[in-house]
Amino acid sequence: MAQAYWQCYLWLVLLCACAWSYPEPNYLGRKDVRNCSTSPERLPVTAVNTTMRLAALRQQMETWNLSAYIIPDTDAHMSEYIGKPDKRREWISGFTGSAGTAVVTMGKAAVWTDSRYWTQAERQMDCNWELHKEVSISSIVAWILAEVPDGENVGFDPFLFSVDSWKNYDQGFQDSSRHLLSVTTNLVDVAWGSERPPVPSQPIYALPKEFTGSTWQEKVSAVRSYMEHHAKTPTGVLLSALDETAWLFNLRSSDIPYNPFFYSYALLTDSSIRLFVNKSRFSLETLQYLNTNCTLPMCVQLEDYSQVRDSVKAYASGDVKILIGVSYTTYGVYEVIPKEKLVTDTYSPVMLIKAVKNSKEQALLKSSHVRDAVAVIQYLVWLEKNVPKGTVDEFSGAEYIDELRRNENFSSGPSFETISASGLNAALAHYSPTKELHRKLSSDEMYLVDSGGQYWDGTTDITRTVHWGTPTAFQKEAYTRVLMGNIDLSRLVFPAATSGRVVEAFARRALWEVGLNYGHGTGHGIGNFLCVHEWPVGFQYNNIAMAKGMFTSIEPGYYHDGEFGIRLEDVALVVEAKTKYPGDYLTFELVSFVPYDRNLIDVRLLSPEQLQYLNRYYQTIRENVGPELQRRQLLEEFAWLERHTEPLSARAPHIISWTSLWVASALAILRWSS
């Protein structure tokens, strides 16, 4: 009985492990498994006792005269991934999901999260907590207004609220008599005390010049030129996103999971450069690299990370105008800049400049993708040999592909948690296995692997879906239509400065024609040893227009609930298109170099143009990856690549296996001999 209980529990948690925006079933009618109203003593063994934690936080709230305290799931830089010291909502509630907001009053505590995490939250939170199955700020505000009496204070850490989030909360409290109070001392940190993980202290290092497209001095000059030509001529720009400072100074470290960043801010003015960081993390060599021993316009002045608010406030007291990109700036620094001295854009100039890679950066990123393709091909060959033996599961597969990447030159680990999903798990668009929760890979099921690496010359991200047995007709059609969407967008020619959202439908057209679709974005930007999801490039409504030199992923998919999932993701460079008539047009050049699964392609569905494009792409893979496999004496992988990139023909939709070919040849020889 106990075994059956745990199997049930594991599968429930498994089903909520999806990420991003893939739609999940609505469980609003399902009861909370904790039974807090009737049997609070029968909590799951996975529930975390938060009584003492809440008592410590409420003591701090009382000291600050607060009746409620809001705890989001972010850090001070609006990072996609957050470090252990920033997992405040996780610590106070016990709930480890990556999305959710907590609110604590003097008598209650509640968490708001979406359907991906409802079961997980119920299993991890004790009966001190209410679970609210929605995520809107308006619903959080409505609950606070119902719980907090008139005239009392609602506190928040301004460094954990984006400018837009603060505006939404502030608007919600406008017509009430409650006061939204900015408290720069984080009360969860105080309650957490000595148990809070330490702030990272690993060295911050400069990238070797062979892995950078420009010197930091050239980048600073480019940003200053942008400011000079800006319509409102700001005198300074405040940089808050961690990839902004990493890119600007060609510096890296390891404070954030999967991202080579370090906690920092930068204030770049027309005559000074200030970097807010823990100075003790720099070597003497790196200090010299940054010219920290002078105060000239091209010298970096180091200030303590914690002083950014005071320093920005002091600078704002002069005759200045400060430019910020509101997408990554928190209210903590926004609120100290007088509005008449504030210049706001959606994205900072650094975000816009680094989105367009120069020729050296393009070459670096392409090189990283060639080595990455070697690792992925090694993995696919290994799977073909071992899955039929029944010795591979989702987790061991994820570990092995991560290991293969680590063995590559200039590797710095994975760029995100590997998505290794077999059968029905692949229907959860961004499921990842764990050591305790995984399925065995089978020749009878489809398998999806979405993974990437961080290398000193580039960041990679690629998805392939395979089937080693006999796929159904519907699986082949769905896979082929996803491939058609990938091809249609990849080969598209479009006017320069076109927004990605305008052309995104080309990736969906082949699916739409038969009533299929997918519920996530079609692509995102990617950096040079920076973010694997690099804004502001992509195909969503808030991405900037496409320009020559940008890199984006192209990743249509299809997810059949409870059975299988398909996604085909490549990284592409935006290049100038050659058109019959003169004009400023763009297209894409794929830099991912791994063939698709021939076993799942129904060539009869492909148009002549799609087939021609696919065969040209396969020839490009041979030319880029083949020599590297031969150079390393990876002969088995080279033979695999040659087989899987043979030109496809509309008259031969099904590939003949080498075993079948050998048997047929042997039979022919026997007949001839007799």
Instruction: Name the CA dihedral angle for 72, 75, 76, 80, rounded to a multiple of 10 degrees.
Output: -110
Q: Which of 268-272, 293-297, 637-641, 668-672 has the lowest mean pLDDT?
A: 668-672
Instruction: Establish if 326 belongs to a structural domain.
Output: yes
Cα–Cα distance measured from residue 227 to residue 238, given in angstroms and rounded to the nearest whole number: 12
Q: Do 434 and 573 share a domain, yes or no?
A: yes
Give the model's pLDDT for residue 33.
62
Q: List 394's β-bridge partners, or say none.
A: none
Residues 6+ apart with CB under 8 A from 80: 259, 531, 533
Q: Span 461-469, mean pLDDT?
A: 98
Share of the chain residues as helix, strand and coil, in percent rounded to the nearest 5: 40, 20, 40
Signed CA dihedral, 493, 496, 500, 501: sign only: negative
For the record, the structure tokens of 492 come out as: 């598209």
Q: Do 287 and 175 share a domain, yes or no?
A: no
Instruction: Establish if 498 belongs to a structural domain.
Output: yes
Mapped onto helix, strand or coil, the DSSP state of residue 16 is coil
Instruction: Establish if 12 belongs to a structural domain.
Output: no
Instruction: Establish if 525 belongs to a structural domain.
Output: yes
Q: Do 287 and 424 share a domain, yes or no?
A: no
Give the model's pLDDT for residue 116.
79
Residues 6+ apart with CB under 8 A from 37: none
Query: pLDDT tens for residues 17-34?
Result: 333 333 333 434 455 667
φ/ψ bin of 432: left (φ > 0), alpha (ψ from -120 to 50), beta (otherwise):
beta
Burial code of 332-370, b = ≥16 C-beta within 10 A, e = fewer?
bbbebbeeebbbebebbbbbbbbbbbeeebbebbbbbbb
Q: Do 541 and 393 share a domain, yes or no?
A: yes
Q: Do 240 and 388 share a domain, yes or no?
A: no
Cα–Cα distance measured from residue 99 to residue 87, given in angstroms and rounded to the nearest whole number: 11
Q: Do 116 and 225 share a domain, yes or no?
A: no
For the record, the structure tokens of 442 come out as: 């089978």
Give the model's pLDDT for residue 42.
72
Cα–Cα distance measured from residue 188 to residue 91, given in angstroms and rounded to the nearest whole number: 9
Q: Span 588-616, mean pLDDT?
A: 98
> Which amino acid, one-letter code, is at 402?
D
Instruction: pLDDT band for 43, please (50, 70, 90 cuts).
Output: confident
Domain boundary among 354, 389, 405: 354
C-alpha distances out from residue 534 to 369, 397, 464, 527, Å:
16, 26, 21, 6
- Going by C-alpha positions, the residue among 123, 127, 115, 129 that lies closest to residue 5 is 123
Q: List 553's β-bridge partners, or say none.
A: 571
Query: pLDDT tens for residues 368-412?
Result: 999 999 999 999 999 999 999 999 999 999 999 999 999 999 999
Query: What element of type H or E holds 403?
Result: helix 394-406
Cα–Cα distance measured from residue 621 to residue 242, given in angstroms and rounded to the nearest whole number: 34
**What is the three-state SS of 514-583?**
CCCCCCCCCCEECCCCCCCCEEEEECCCCCCECCCCCEEEECCEEEECCCEEEECEEEEEEEECCCCCCC
Looking at residue 657, what DSSP letter applies? P
Give the model's pLDDT for residue 140.
97
Q: Do 307 and 429 share a domain, yes or no?
A: no
Could you give the number of structural domains in the chain?
A: 3
For the record, the structure tokens of 674 come out as: 């007799």
Domain enclosing residue 606, as ranges: 359-645
Cα–Cα distance measured from residue 292 to residue 266, given in angstroms and rounded to the nearest whole number: 14
Q: Could you tell me which residue, 4 or 298, shows the higher pLDDT?
A: 298
Give the model's pLDDT for residue 98.
87
Q: Residue 221 belongs to a domain with what CATH number?
A: 3.40.350.10
- Going by C-alpha positions, the residue among 201, 252, 634, 635 that lies closest to residue 410 is 252
Q: Do 222 and 83 share a domain, yes or no?
A: no
Instruction: Establish if 672 belongs to a structural domain.
Output: no
Per the CB < 8 A criterion, the answer to whether 461 and 553 are in contact is: yes
Give the model's pLDDT for residue 674.
35
Query: What element of type H or E holds 274?
Result: strand 273-276
Give the model's pLDDT for residue 335.
97
- Is 0.85 topped by the overall pTM? yes
Instruction: Establish if 510 belongs to a structural domain.
Output: yes
- Going by C-alpha positions, the residue among 227, 259, 231, 220 that lies closest to residue 243 is 259
Mean pLDDT over the full length of the chain: 91
Compute the radius of gyration of the chain from its Cα atoms. 27
Query: Strand 300-303 relative to strand 273-276: parallel, antiparallel, unpaired?
Result: parallel
Angle, vertex CA 570, rays to CA 388 and CA 327, nearest 5 = 125
**pLDDT surpassing 70 at residue 668:** no
**pLDDT surpassing 60 at residue 475:** yes
Share of the chain above pLDDT 70, in %: 91
Q: Do 470 and 483 share a domain, yes or no?
A: yes
Cα–Cα distance measured from residue 182 to residue 569, given in angstroms and rounded to the nearest whole number: 42
For the record, the structure tokens of 649 come out as: 């023909």
For the record, the structure tokens of 140 come out as: 């959080």
Domain boundary among 315, 335, 354: 354
For the record, the structure tokens of 36 come out as: 């807090």
**pLDDT surpassing 60 at residue 180:** yes
Q: Span 172-181, mean pLDDT?
A: 94
Give the model's pLDDT for residue 429.
80
Q: Residue 379 belongs to a domain with what CATH number?
A: 3.90.230.10
> Which amino acid, one-letter code, is at 279?
K
Q: Do 401 and 529 share a domain, yes or no?
A: yes
Q: Span 541-570, mean pLDDT?
A: 97
Domain boundary among 354, 376, 408: 354
Q: Do 188 and 267 share a domain, yes or no?
A: no
Instruction: Establish if 2 belongs to a structural domain.
Output: no
Instruction: Establish if 20 belongs to a structural domain.
Output: no
Give the model's pLDDT for residue 272.
97
Per the CB < 8 A criterion, the answer to whether 240 and 329 are in contact is: yes
For the record, the structure tokens of 449 come out as: 């692997």
Give the model's pLDDT for residue 37.
66
Q: Could you tell me which residue, 98 or 262, shows the higher pLDDT?
A: 262
Burial code of 240-259, b = ≥16 C-beta within 10 A, e = fewer?
bbbbbbbbbbbbbbbbbebb
Cα–Cα distance measured from residue 430 to residue 15, given in angstroms and rounded to the nearest whole number: 11
Q: Do 164 and 220 share a domain, yes or no?
A: no
Q: Could you tell me which residue, 1 or 528, shows the higher pLDDT?
A: 528
Instruction: pLDDT band for 258, please (50, 70, 90 cuts).
Output: very high
Give the model's pLDDT for residue 38.
63
Instruction: pLDDT band for 436, please (50, 70, 90 cuts).
Output: confident
**What is the maximum alpha-carbon separation in the chain?**
101
Query: pLDDT tens for residues 317-375?
Result: 999 999 999 999 999 999 999 999 999 999 999 999 999 999 999 999 999 999 999 99
First to last CA, the chain: 64
Q: How many residues are given for the chain?
A: 674
